[in-house]
Structure 1
Amino acid sequence: MQPSKLIHWAFWSFIFLYPFFKFFFHHQYPLTTWEFLLPCFFFILIFGLLALFLKNGAVDIIYLVLFYFLLSFVFGNLAWGEFVGMAFLFFGLFVCLKEANLFFSRMAGVFIAGILFVDVILAISNKIHQDPTPQIPKDISLLDKKNILYLIVDEHIGVDGMPLSVPQTQGMKQKLDSFYEKYHFTLFPKAYSRYFQSNDSIPNTLNGTDLPQGQAYFGKERREGALLASNQFFENLKKEGYRIHVYQTNYLDFCNSFVDECHRFSKNSPLAINDKSYLLIERIFVTSSLYLYTNSIFKEVLKSFSPDTFPSITGSLNVVPHMLEEIGEDARAHKSGTLFFAHILMPHYPYVYDPSCKPRPVSQWKGRAEFSGDSPKNSISSYQERYGLYYEQMDCLYSLLGSLFDGFINQGDFNGMTLVVHGDHGSRINLEYDPFAKFKDRISAQDILTSFSTLLAIKKSFQLQGTINSNEGGLNAILKEELNDREFTGENDGVVYFAESPGSVKLVPYPMVLF
């Protein structure tokens, strides 16, 4: 092969595979595994054949396409119109460079050097950056302060919001009633979130607010992993002298200046599939699918397929069990004066666990909706199927929570602890419509309950008997009363917020239905 063709081969392989390498490297996925090596070998072979047989004009077009492909990873949030505009810009650049006899192979070396330089600088910057050191009040004894466990279980529907049309619902309601009674909780089966999205619900709950604006704590351009700098719940406990230990994924960052220990778990990491129970073909399929979803062009293309065709997230797989184990270990080391706060991606889709917490084959993973689009929805059969899988994943969650609580009991710490377990919104397994303003005259009462009804259970320090409070109310209304030792007696004229349209931060108030 001629030296020029070898250069093309090397440059094309680098431009195409470097984002793939970064994806695996970022998630600390072993680079010696076949799920990384086989795709690399395949595309290196393809580019070798192209370099060998293509002529100069086609060679430059390959460079053009690959540069555009690479930038679609770099600029991951551009809209379709912006990508089309970028395509025309690239084509104009291609014509100008051809006229000037400046071929893309000459640019590639400079381009690649620039990529490597920027990545080295970013790596150094990230290594220098550390989580802020918390300001711990002095002269405050922690010995008389009992530990607090605060768990947000993502996408957990409330007990009375569960659809009675699903055969397994009655059994699941009884399981939840029994579980929370066994561990001395007050269960609020008619609790609801005012918000449909986690990035609205969780910040408002932790700050005790019900703001009528979407993404109020992050702004319009909230990125994944954005820091929740304002956290009144943490601030109040820090003033009382509590240590704060956080266990989180990379969806929201709770580790602000009040946090003493921050335990991070990677959400939707390809590492979740790095398990001997999965076949090589499954591991290649999932890791490649997750990688493609980091590219805006592919992400838009994949939206035209069924949501279950290409996995976009791994959810709780191999994350939640480790997170809860770590909380249990830390609680054994810190007997008093500590808040253990965790955002748990369970029972959130995809439904990857069976009731015994055994991972399901990839072909059996399901999301919350059969059909995608502006309002993901289900057929009657897929609605029943997804709720069945959702409840089985819930069984797994409660097996894990039961083990955690039993550990506290065995240590003799459980009775004195305060425990709060709540969701951030409903299951969102809707039959017809998601809660958008344009559907407000068509959405059913059950789809509203499925969207907003959420779990809430509270065990106060030295509460020795489980009970049920059947008054209906929003999360904040209940938490405000109960965490200040006042019994919640109900809420008048409750409202929830519908987004004006998909992706809109403008929220429209809507009366909450009665359970």
Structure 2
Amino acid sequence: MRGDQREINQVSQKRQNVEPRSNPRLPTEAFAKAAKAKSPCITKAKAMSTSARPKRARMMGHIVWVLVLWAILLNLLTFNGYPIDTGEVALAFLGLGAIGAVLGVLTQELGPVLRHVLTPLFATIAIDLGFGIDPLHFFIAFAALALISYLWYDLFLTVFFSASLSVIVFQAFGMASADHGAGDPSRETAATQQRPNGPSDRPALIHIIFDSYLGLDGMALGPQYYRDLREEQADFFIREGFQVYPRAYSRHARTLNSLPTLFTYGTRKDSEFAAGVQYVAPAQLPYFTDLDQRDYAISAVLPAYFDLCVNQKMSQCRTFESSHLTSMLDTDLSMTDRIKVFGYTILNLSQTVRMVVSVFEVLEENRGGNNTRLLANRSELFPLASLKMLDTFIDDLATLRRGEARFAHILLPHDPYILRPDCTVKPESEWLDEHGPGATSARERAYADQVRCLQTKLSDLLNELDRTPAGREAIILFHGDHGSRIAPSQPIVDAPPLSPREEIMSFSTFYAIRIPGEASGEIPGTHALDELMADFRNRDFASAPRPPSIAPRAAYIDAMGTPTEWRELPSFEP
């Protein structure tokens, strides 16, 4: 025991001699060795941390593209007000999830070089799909993201992951709290005309422009199925009390140039809106000024891209998106076809994707013909969106009163040609476009189907008008804004020349008016729309126009869509 006590005292004495910064529990030499030694537990923890970080990064790299694609789809559905509790939406999420998983494999498992190329490339495409950047800024963004990816790859992935997840949460919350009823996709603007009631001594005026509505003598040029269509149209309108103008035509083959010309009675024949213009809000137009001065209560329904609600005198004005995904609801279009439209719409959001695809489309055409619809056209739903708005317009006629002027611009029978004569929707694989590709005869037959659908709706409209005194007394004006344009191209100055028939197909347009008390029939002569509208105004909007017949002249455009050259049109004679 005493020996042990001496050892304890010696250890205690040594502890007193240890420097203050040394471990008081160990001799100095032992402490130094302990400091240099690596604890097995610490070593294991560090090893686990080192292996865990790349695993988390790889996992994030696999998942991020799924989230990105889901965020893009959710953004599209939210913008269009499309309900998410549908079979096509569920399948679209599954499909995009699979594509995102493949992108994750490509970026994470093919080596660091491809990782630092593909990751910023996919990220730039995702940004382009969200914001629509032009090709120059696309490459600038790609270069910047490639540098960031190379220097701070994990941080880059984390930011992109977090941003995509935030979009999904935000959009999902918004859609969950939104009203999922069918609803009306149109938007009503503030009234610029404080006149709820028009003059009771004036009959109501119904004025509808039907986009791409070919004139009767344009149809008469054949072939036989067009001549049959002409007879059907003439018989229908004359039977319903209309005066029809078989050789009416538009000065322009483009809506953005045609409408300002006719609304100004031809004083702006050189209306210039270049190709690619997405939105026009024209200044006050004489036609609507004249209606306002006659105390009409003016209301309108029209596509948002040619916005008359801003500067025209209107007591009520609604715009609608010309191509809206919700127009596919309540149709017999299959889930597969709806998903296709989702996909084409997403791809068309990217300017760069459209440009790259168009290059391949041109190359395919030069190699001997491309029979596949162009990507730029495959997301368009113009007829479906307009069909729903026309139905709404017809339903609202029950409240028509004298002194009202109700105007509408309807994108029918505008392409794509997707409707059967009974207005049911054809499968997406059968849809066709005015300029092709595809055989001219197939496009013209499909166009004729869409005209017959329109005729069915016009019959519904006239039946609705017949139910009310104001409707039976109303003046009704239906006309087109240009021809069917079923030709290789629009009338362009330096393009390969169109045949005489193709020129007529571009400019010939429908015009028919019903004036109570005036006899129906075909009105001879060749008349521009602006001439007809000017004479209608000169007759105080109370009787059918009879302007003098003048040789037709129309504007050819340059490659940018600007009218640059006036030419005499060929004869309407077959």
What range is the shorter-chain TM-score in? 0.7 to 0.9
Deviations 1:256-295 (A, max 9, x none): 2522223344322222333462332222122212221222
Q: Is it true that 1:205 corresponds to 2:257 in the alignment?
A: no
Which residue does 1:490 correspond to in 2? 548
Which residue does 2:194 correspond to in 1? 136
Deviation at 1:196, TM superposition (A): 1.1
Q: What SS does structure 2 have at the residue aligned with 1:402?
A: helix
Which residue does 2:81 correspond to in 1? 28
Provide the C-alpha distance between the structure 2 equivalents of 1:214 and 1:114, rounded to a whole number of angstroms.
Answer: 45
Provide the C-alpha distance between the structure 1 equivalents of 2:188 and 2:395, rounded to a whole number of angstroms.
Answer: 24
Which residue does 1:195 correspond to in 2? 252
Q: What SS does structure 2 have at the residue aligned with 1:151?
A: strand
Which residue does 2:558 correspond to in 1? 500
Deviation at 1:152, TM superposition (A): 0.6
Which residue does 1:375 correspond to in 2? none
Q: Which moved more, 1:416-425 or 1:303-312?
A: 303-312
Provide the C-alpha distance between the structure 2 equivalents of 1:334 and 1:270, rounded to a whole number of angstroms.
Answer: 30
- Which residues of 2 match residues 162-311 of structure 1 at below 5 A? 162=219, 164-209=221-266, 211-213=268-270, 215-216=272-273, 222-224=277-279, 226-257=280-311, 258-275=313-330, 277-303=332-358, 304=361, 306=371, 308=373, 311=378
Provide the C-alpha distance between the structure 2 equivalents of 1:356 and 1:410, rounded to a whole number of angstroms.
Answer: 23
CA contact (8 A) 2:71 2:168 kept: no
Choose the corresponding residue for 1:90, options 142, 147, 159. 142
Which residue does 2:383 correspond to in 1? 316
AA partner of residue 315 (structure 1): F
Provide the C-alpha distance between the structure 2 equivalents of 1:215 and 1:134, rounded to a whole number of angstroms.
Answer: 26
Q: What SS does structure 2 have at the residue aligned with 1:170?
A: helix
Structure 1: segments with no counterpart, 5+ residues: 124-128, 372-377
AA partner of residue 247 (structure 1): V
Provide the C-alpha distance between the structure 2 equivalents of 1:73 and 1:210, rounded to a whole number of angstroms.
Answer: 41
Query: Over the residues paired in the alignment, what is the CA RMSD in angstroms?
Result: 3.3
Q: Is it true that 1:337 corresponds to 2:403 in the alignment?
A: yes
Q: Which moved more, 1:292-301 or 1:45-54?
A: 45-54
Which residue does 1:437 correspond to in 2? 493
CA contact (8 A) 2:66 2:97 kept: no
Provide the C-alpha distance between the structure 1 equivalents of 2:467 and 2:155, rounded to a whole number of angstroms.
Answer: 71
Distance change (3 Å), C-alpha of 1:24 and 1:408: same
Deviations 1:373-421 (A, max 9, x none): xxxxx6xxx2222211211211111111011101211323344211111
Provide the C-alpha distance between the structure 2 equivalents of 1:77 and 1:298, rounded to a whole number of angstroms.
Answer: 11
Deviation at 1:307, TM superposition (A): 5.3
- Which residues of 2 match residues 382-461 of structure 1 at below 5 A? 382-430=439-487, 434-439=490-495, 442-460=497-515
Structure 2: segments with no counterpart, 5+ residues: 1-51, 176-186, 362-369
Provide the C-alpha distance between the structure 2 equivalents of 1:470 and 1:487, rounded to a whole number of angstroms.
Answer: 12
Provide the C-alpha distance between the structure 1 equivalents of 2:207 and 2:425, rounded to a whole number of angstroms.
Answer: 26
Structure with the bigger percentage of helix? 2
Deviation at 1:323, TM superposition (A): 2.2
AA partner of residue 132 (structure 2): G
TM-score where L is the length of structure 1: 0.84
Deviation at 1:116, TM superposition (A): 9.6
TM-score where L is the length of structure 2: 0.76
Deviations 1:342-373 (A, max 9, x none): 111111111111112222122221112333xx
Distance change (3 Å), C-alpha of 1:456 and 1:276: closer
CA contact (8 A) 2:69 2:96 kept: no
Distance change (3 Å), C-alpha of 1:221 and 1:456: same
AA partner of residue 500 (structure 1): D
AA partner of residue 479 (structure 2): H
Deviation at 1:424, TM superposition (A): 0.8
Distance change (3 Å), C-alpha of 1:175 and 1:351: same
Deviation at 1:11, TM superposition (A): 3.7
CA contact (8 A) 1:215 1:222 kept: no
